[in-house]
Amino acid sequence: AQTVTQSQPEMSVQEAETVTLSCTYDTSESNYYLFWYKQPPSRQMILVIRQEAYKQQNATENRFSVNFQKAAKSFSLKISDSQLGDTAMYFCAFWSNSGYALNFGKGTSLLVTP
């Protein structure tokens, strides 16, 4: 079974600064997908970014980028130029064809302060 570990329960960053959220995972699969989801106080789960394991290039979406280290099974999220609206819970998630559901980490609560 795959496990997803987020070792930072809470983090704080000042507006306009950069923050990195950590995620590690354990799997024996060779082909899989990794995701970061954002859950603001509204409860809505919002897909931030995804990474396909067979792609070496790190995914980027505007201010969000990942550092995907396949050998180390590490998948960190970097948020640049943090904004107040980035305040939310961030969940790392794993998906592969051998299962059918997302497997979530415990989440990191990010607070962006003025």
Binding residue count for other proteins, defined by CB under 8 A: 20
Least CB distance from residue 45 to other proteins, whole Å?
A: 4
Task: Using DSSP, state whether 20 is helix, strand or coil.
Answer: strand
Segment lying near other proteins (by CB under 8 A), choices 22-30, 57-65, 69-77, 105-113: 105-113
Least CB distance from residue 29 to other proteins, whole Å?
A: 13
User: Looking at beta carbons only, is 64 or 104 nearer to other proteins?
Assistant: 104
Task: Using DSSP, state whether 84 is helix, strand or coil.
Answer: helix
CA distance 92 to 76: 9
Q: Is the dihedral of CA 52, 31, 36, 81 positive or negative?
A: negative
- 76's tokens: 């960190």
Spatial CA neighbour of 34 closest among 49, 56, 19: 49
Q: Which of 19, 93, 110, 112 binds other proteins (CB under 8 A)?
A: 93
Under the binding rule (CB under 8 A), the answer on residue 11 touching other proteins is no
Site of interaction with other proteins (CB under 8 A): 33, 35, 37, 42-45, 47, 50, 52, 91, 93, 95, 100-102, 104-107
